Amino acid sequence: MNVAAGRALVVEDDAAWQQILAELLSDAGLAVDVAATAEDAIHLLRAAPHRVAVVDLSLGGGAADRGGLAVLEIAHRTDPGCATMLLSGYATVELAVQALTEYGASTCMRKETFSRAQFRVWVERALCRPPLALPESFAETPTSAGAGAGRTPAVGVVLVVEDDAGWRSILTELLTDAGYSVRACAGFAEALGELRRGRVALAVIDLVLEGQWRTGYGMDRRGPAVPQDGYRLLANARAAGIPTIVVSGIAAPAEIERIYREHAVCACLEKRTFVRQSFLRLVREALARRPAEAGLERLTEREHDVLTLLARGLTNKQIAEALSVSPNTVKRHLKAIFAKLGVHTRSAAAARAMEAGLPAASVAPSAPRDP
């Protein structure tokens, strides 16, 4: 049996629409409360917190009725962590804008153009938002990972890549309280720069970053997400030898399998079932597996390739052929590698690579040719 992801509220006077919405929300793992009047809805809002609320504009009073706006206003004031949708067969563009700007609705949908697929996307996205106040059951205990606050582990910078301000704040606060030095980024370009600067000891990455959802004016028209930026960051982190934890809204088993298979991440956590103690434990474990003072995070992507091929026993000439560069270029790379790792011989550099479990080079070496 799946554990409920929280509560949802349907405020709708039409029984058919009540059934449709309740089924969709139940399929998303939510326990559903249903109200037919504004008074009942307000009572339910005050009785328990809700993750999402779908509110019909007119609650039994015809086209002129605006009871749904009162419900949105109460939800906005009393349950700010609840994502609300205005659903109506009467809403004008002006009314939709009013609901979005004055009453805190996150989106509006018309009944005559209602799309189950778009509705599911909105619910999934809403459930990935962090609650503004986490339940007391998630509070740290003296034996939890957060008990390390007040001391700074000597691990370098933990990079948080998250476009949602709420999640970025929560992850940063958790890591800072646990004693880690944190650098938070909202997008791909800034995060890639941090990875390339060589100060990152661990990366915490959301796969779907800003700009990867398609939206329409006034209505929520998000199309399918293509997390190419997140995957590119995973590839760069792996090439730099940086352990990575994924914290994302992506929950499809095939995608999770791909993340583990292709990018060798330490862990993949779903936002909708996020638990702080588990996250901090995984952070500690990921950093503990990281080779002490390996220095590999300072290498460029090409230097990683050269070092990996060196560790396989290839000569400078063979490395040059595999990477389609000149032997002199290989020598320059090796000189930089030796300096960054603090070693003076090929065998010492190869030992560092094997100790760190350096990932395979991005370019497969060609077979050595006979002289």
Question: Same domain for 74 and 205?
Answer: no
Instruction: Return the pLDDT at 91.
Output: 60
| Per-residue pLDDT, 129 | 65
Task: Please determine, for residue 207, whether its predicted confidence score (pLDDT) is greater than 70.
Answer: yes
Give the domain CATH number at 343: 1.10.10.10
Higher pLDDT pick, 166 / 151: 166
Domain boundary among 127, 159, 174: 127
Structure token digits, residue 191: 């995060």
Q: Is residue 321 part of a domain?
A: yes
pLDDT in tens, 227-272: 678 888 998 888 777 899 999 887 678 888 888 888 888 899 988 7
CB crowding 111-121: b at 16 or more within 10 Å, else e: beeeeeebbeb
Residues 100 and 219 in one domain: no
Domain that holds residue 38: 7-127
pLDDT of residue 80: 79
The sheet with strand 83-88 has its strands ordered as: 31-35, 7-11, 52-56, 83-88, 107-110
Binned at pLDDT 50, 70 and 90, residue 319 comes out as: very high
Residue 4's pLDDT band, with cuts at 50, 70 and 90, is: low
Task: Clarify whether residues 277 and 174 are in a common domain.
Answer: yes
Is the same domain home to 274 and 301?
Answer: no
Quick: pLDDT tens for 28-79: 999 999 999 888 888 898 888 899 999 998 876 655 667 788 888 888 888 8
Q: What is the mean pLDDT of residues 92-97?
A: 71
Between 68-82, 107-121, 208-222, the lowest mean confidence (pLDDT) is in 208-222
**When comparing pLDDT for 284 and 93, which is higher?**
284
User: Does residue 1 lie within any of the structural domains?
Assistant: no
Does the pLDDT at position 166 exceed 90?
A: no
Domain assignment present for residue 173? The answer is yes
Residue 219 pLDDT exceeds 90 = no
pLDDT digits (tens, 9 = 90+) for 323-342: 999 999 999 999 999 888 77
Is residue 134 included in any domain, yes or no?
Answer: no
* 165 confidence band (pLDDT: 50, 70, 90): confident
Task: Count Cβ atoms below 10 Å from residue 358 Cβ, excluding itself.
Answer: 23
Give 355's pLDDT tier (boundaries 50, 70, 90): low
- Burial class (CB within 10 angstroms; exposed 0-12, middle 13-18, buried 19+) of 359: middle
Of 285, 274, 281, nearest to 137 (Cα)?
274
SS3 at position 152: coil
Both 101 and 217 in one domain: the answer is: no
Same-domain status, 35 and 60: yes
pLDDT of residue 110: 85
Domains: count for the chain = 3
272 DSSP assignment: G
Of 75, 94, 127, the domain-final residue: 127
370 belongs to a structural domain: no
Assess if residue 154 is contained within a domain: yes
Report the percentage of the chain scoring pLDDT > 90. Answer: 21
How high is the mean pLDDT of the chain?
77
Which CATH number covers residue 118? 3.40.50.2300
The verdict on 253 and 318 lying in the same domain is no
Q: Is residue 244 part of a domain?
A: yes
- 171 plus 258 within the same structural domain: yes
Between helices 327-341 and 346-356, what is the axis angle to 10°?
70
- pLDDT of 320 strictly over 80: yes
Residue 141 lies in a domain: no
Residue-wise pLDDT tens digits, 183-205: 999 888 889 888 887 778 899 99
Q: Which pLDDT band holds residue 359 (cuts at 50, 70, 90)? A: low
Angle separating helix axes 301-311 and 346-356, nearest 10 degrees: 100
Question: Do 38 and 117 share a domain, yes or no?
Answer: yes
Which is more confident, 275 or 330?
A: 330
